[in-house]
Amino acid sequence: MTYSFTPNPKLDLVLERRVPVSPALVWKAWTVPEHVMRWFTPAPWRTVECEIDLRPGGLFRTVMRSPEGEDHPNLGCFLEVVKERRLVFTDALHGGYRPAPRPFMTAAVLLEPDGSGTRYTAIAMHHDEAARQSHEDMGFHSGWGTALDQLVELAKGW
């Protein structure tokens, strides 16, 4: 199943960059729990738990810890998994496509080979303009950008 993603600026936030690591390494960082825990949350926050069932309908669960020690669990479901090209997940569903009580977003991470690097596109899709604005106000661009920088630094070491 392949979806076309045309961002709607009223509902979606987009982070697009060329990163100097291959799609295979970006994929590895996104899909192996112990790697996700090392980059996924912008410092000084930390990801202290990660569970991945890498298949459509599979669980994607993380727990982020604030600098003050407060835990923030995130539970979602993979919708599409295309090795080294595309991950689509949502918090609107839990594993097994079970409905979630308070959905916030669906995300697509798109990877395209670009020379020796990767054209990386992350799209956070929201159900309404208020949810999009709330996510932007929480620091989407700086947070997801910092996390991507951390992913790149991790992957460069492999």
Instruction: Sketch the domain layout of the chain as residue ranges.
Output: 12-156
Task: Please list the residues that pair with 92 across neighbouring strands.
Answer: none
pLDDT in tens, the chain (158 residues): 455 778 999 999 999 999 999 999 999 999 999 999 999 999 999 999 999 999 999 999 999 999 999 999 999 999 999 999 999 999 999 999 999 998 999 999 999 999 999 999 999 999 999 999 999 999 999 999 999 999 999 999 99
Which phi and psi angles does 39 have, rounded to 5°? Answer: -135, -20
Residue 100: DSSP 8-state = P
CB atoms within 10 A of CB 134: 13
Q: Any idea which residue has 């600098």 for tokens?
A: 67
Which pair of structure tokens corresponds to residue 98? 């079970």
Give the Cα separation of 28 and 51 in Å (integer).
14
First and final CA of the chain: distance in angstroms? 31
User: What local confidence, expressed as pLDDT, does residue 5 receive?
Assistant: 76
Task: Please list the residues that pair with 89 across neighbouring strands.
Answer: 78, 107
Nearest Cα to 109, choosing from 124, 96, 95?
Answer: 124
H/E stretch holding 144 reads helix 140-156
User: What local confidence, expressed as pLDDT, does residue 1 receive?
Assistant: 47
Which pair of structure tokens corresponds to residue 109? 């991470």
**CATH numeric code, 12-156:** 3.30.530.20
